[in-house]
Amino acid sequence: MEHAMMFYLVLFLPMYSAYDYPNLALRGKATQSQRYNNADAGVFAAAYNAIDGNRNSNFLHGSCTHTIEQTNPWWRVDLLESYVITAIKITNRGDCCGNRINGAEIYVGTSEVYNGPNSRRVATVAGIPDGATESIPLTDEVEGRYVTVVLPGSNRILSLCEVEVNGYQAPSANLALRGKATQSQRYKGDWDVYAAAYNAIDGNQNSIFIHGSCTHTLEQTNPWWRVDLLESYVITSIKITNRGDCCGNRIAGAEIHIGSSKDYNGLDSPKVATIAGIPDGATDTIPFSDGVEGRYVIVVIPGSNKILSLCEVEVYGFNAETGKA
């Protein structure tokens, strides 16, 4: 059973804000309630224009959408998979008619039905200056596959010149399971067979040392353990399972470092958290709300005559380029 973290201090470097995550809309498929059908200008009105990566706000330049005048016109992008949405950016039409966006509602959900039980209204747009791009951060980070913009009311026209959707795939995979683990110096003695660095990434939270799923260093100065994730990820949380049969206080003061280099055993990488204590046998979660990017995760206990023992280290996050775990 997981316990809430009793004591920890997160000291992260905010490398990613809500606006830095990939624009997921570029991979999606767009549609709208009904495309503007004027014989001369209807060719410029496609739903796709709002996810073409072009913020040009002049309708006749072919990068804006346009519905007919109707009741509750809407536009929707299907992201093809479900993501945690952190922010949405909307570019308003600039050559005319910028007030048409006033009152637009934004929905995020797992269903194409924007006003159904599986969707949530996340924002209402009071107004956007003509030709401007407005960023709407979603501080609650709602999960969904479909992002819909709708204009409530009759005789409305919806025109969008770009919709950008920032977010990441909800981390469900433990990245450490794919990695390679090492430690400063493996315990030597009758029980050294149970002390391998790999034991902390074997997918087993068993906290009894002689059951063979915990690590163990020699007593030394600054003992450390490291997992190489094999490629760089934006790490959103780490779970650590402490030894349960004895010696749980040894984890006190452990530091977690995340970085892109293993020079100096990775200990020059940024320190992102310090653990004051974890209950014996417990699994505690350390979240990084803005994410910390790196390939290597290092746990070290500073000081002399220290022993580091870990019964599982789980690393959750996503690839910074693809948004996927």
Q: Average pLDDT, stretch 211-238? A: 95
What pLDDT is attached to residue 95? Answer: 96
**At residue 21, what are phi and psi to the nearest 5 degrees?**
-70, 155
Q: Is the CB of residue 49 less than 8 Å from the CB of residue 65?
A: yes
pLDDT given for residue 254 in this prediction:
97
* Selected residue with higher pLDDT from 178 and 42: 178
Confidence of residue 302 (pLDDT cuts 50, 70, 90): very high
* Segment 38-49 mean pLDDT: 84
Q: Is the pLDDT of residue 98 over 60?
A: yes
What pLDDT score was predicted for residue 192? 87
Mean pLDDT, rounded, for 171-189: 90
- Pair 119, 97: CB distance under 8 Å: no
> In this predicted structure, which of 32-41, 124-133, 169-178, 291-300 has the lowest mean pLDDT?
169-178
Low-confidence winner among 41-45, 281-285, 307-311 (lowest mean pLDDT): 41-45
CATH fold of the domain at 173-318: Jelly Rolls (2.60.120)
The pLDDT value recorded for residue 324 is: 65
| Residue 7 pLDDT class (50, 70, 90 cuts) | very low
DSSP string, 140-181: EEEEEEEEEEE--SSSB----SEEEEEEEPPP-S-GGGGSEE
Q: What is the pLDDT of residue 325?
A: 67
Q: What is the pLDDT of residue 179?
A: 95
What's the rounded mean pLDDT across residues 53-82? 95
Torsional class of 50: left (φ above 0), alpha (ψ -120 to 50), beta (otherwise): alpha
Q: Report whether pLDDT(165) > 60.
A: yes
Domain extent listing, the chain: 24-167, 173-318
Give 190-214 pLDDT, tens digit per residue: 888 899 999 999 999 999 999 999 9
In CATH terms, 24-167 corresponds, of 3.40.50.180, 3.30.420.40, 2.60.120.260, 3.10.20.10, to 2.60.120.260
pLDDT of residue 242: 97
Of 44-53, 137-146, 225-234, which range is least confident? Answer: 137-146
DSSP secondary structure, 200-266, as one string: GGSS-----GGGT----BPSBSS-EEEEEEEEEEEEEEEEEEPP-SS-GGGGTTEEEEEES--GGGG
- Report the SS3 class of residue 32: strand
Has residue 38 got a pLDDT over 50? yes
Confidence (pLDDT) at 322? 66
pLDDT value for 304: 97
Judge whether 24-167 and 173-318 match in fold: yes
pLDDT of residue 20: 52
Q: How far apart are CA 30 and CA 245, in angstroms?
A: 56
pLDDT tens-digit series, residues 113-157: 988 888 999 999 999 999 999 999 997 778 899 999 999 999 999
* H helix or E strand, kind and range, residue 84: strand 74-91
